[in-house]
Homo-oligomer: A and B are copies of this chain.
Amino acid sequence: MTFAGYAVILSNLGSSSDRFVPTGYGDRYTIEQLFERAAQIPQVGAVELVGTWHVTEGNVRQLKDCLDRTGLKLASIIPDHFGQPKWKKGSFASKEASIRAEAISHTKEMADVAVELGCDLLSLWPGQDGYDYLFQSDYVQERQWFVEGIREASQHRSDVRYSLEYKIKEPRTHGLLSTAANALLIAQQAGGDNVGVTIDFGHSLNAYETPAEAAALLQQYGGKLFHVHMNDNYRHWDDDMIVGSVHTIETLEFFYWLRRLGYQGWLSIDQYPYREDGLAAVREGVLAMEAFNRLLDSIPSGELEGIIARGEATESTVYLRNLLLRPIT
């Protein structure tokens, strides 16, 4: 396995809120405490931080201390293009020029902070770009603004990679950066070699993609898979459940293809443990990722390649049954 290792978005270790319980379902933790919780999972090598939530103008020193103390690396910073009311009608594609400018300048700042903290990756999730209602978006103009914004932001530093995380819906009913193919088009237009795409496993399922196919698409067009977020759901919504809790075979296939495609980035947890202890949920998510990888390690070379090459469902289903449904001895 050549992955960079396992990571986690820091907030996953704390309390989650939804629109009915906005103050959160669980206990709240300080940033220091969240770092300490991450450090309790030996397999976790890095964290991702979110702009505003975790990274502010004044706390870079504090974050550096947290990283040093725990020995964790910084896998990425996710700039805040979604977490404040000012972004409510978009960031890079907002109809207001001043908001678009803020989206760009905040991204630049986060890139500088990332480098300062030893990290070369921003994972951008412009979740507020898009629209809710019909006859609400100037699809042509807003897409153009979006591309221009990503272009300008990504040209700020050539030593940072900018990875676009797509999502078909939520918080807008229709996200601008909707699918892997759509994100790839934008990455191609916006940037040079330092613009790529983040696959969130659950977002991919929501778009009726097969995550393994999405990964193949991105890698095929010039190695554009920059980052991976892991979780699970029931296909219809971004439920952000524990890795492997629903889609055993899709997850297995995704990890298989990540290896075959030479993906070398992080496998990072992006769960929302509304009703679970965040630490326990992240630990299990990481152990699940490890288990999928170990299971793949134990499969003799060539077997899955042959099955895929022949493409007979009556062969692959036999194989997967024997792999997954062995009685306990």
Interface residues of A (CB under 8 A from B): 16-26, 82-85, 88-89, 95, 127, 131-140, 143-144, 168-171, 173-174, 178-179, 181-182, 184-185, 207-210, 212-213, 216-217, 219-221, 233-237, 239, 241-242, 244-246, 248-250, 253, 256-257, 261, 272-277, 280-281, 283-284, 287-288, 291-292, 294-295, 297-299, 304, 307-314, 316-321, 323-329
Complex Cα spacing A321 to B244, Å: 8
Most buried by B among A132, A182, A323: A132
Return A162 CB to nearest CB of chain B, in Å: 19
User: Which single residue of chain B is at the shortest CB-CB distance from A254?
Assistant: B134
B318 and A287 form a contact (CB under 8 A): yes
A88 and B25 form a contact (CB under 8 A): yes
Complex Cα spacing A248 to B251, Å: 12
Starting from the known contacts A22-B22, A134-B246, A138-B311, 18 additional A-B residue pairs (CB-CB under 8 Å) come to A88-B274, A132-B274, A134-B245, A134-B316, A135-B256, A136-B312, A138-B309, A143-B217, A173-B234, A178-B181, A181-B182, A208-B236, A235-B236, A242-B313, A246-B249, A281-B313, A291-B325, A295-B326
B298 and A329 form a contact (CB under 8 A): yes
B325 and A275 form a contact (CB under 8 A): no
Q: B133, B140, B233: which contacts A241 (Cβ < 8 A)? A: B133
B235 and A234 form a contact (CB under 8 A): yes
Residues of B within 8 A of A82 (CB): 20-21
User: Which single residue of chain B is at the shortest CB-CB distance from A325?
Assistant: B291
| Contacts A/B (CB < 8 Å), 15 sampled | A16-B19, A18-B171, A133-B241, A135-B249, A135-B316, A136-B316, A139-B257, A168-B208, A169-B237, A173-B241, A179-B179, A236-B236, A242-B313, A246-B250, A281-B314
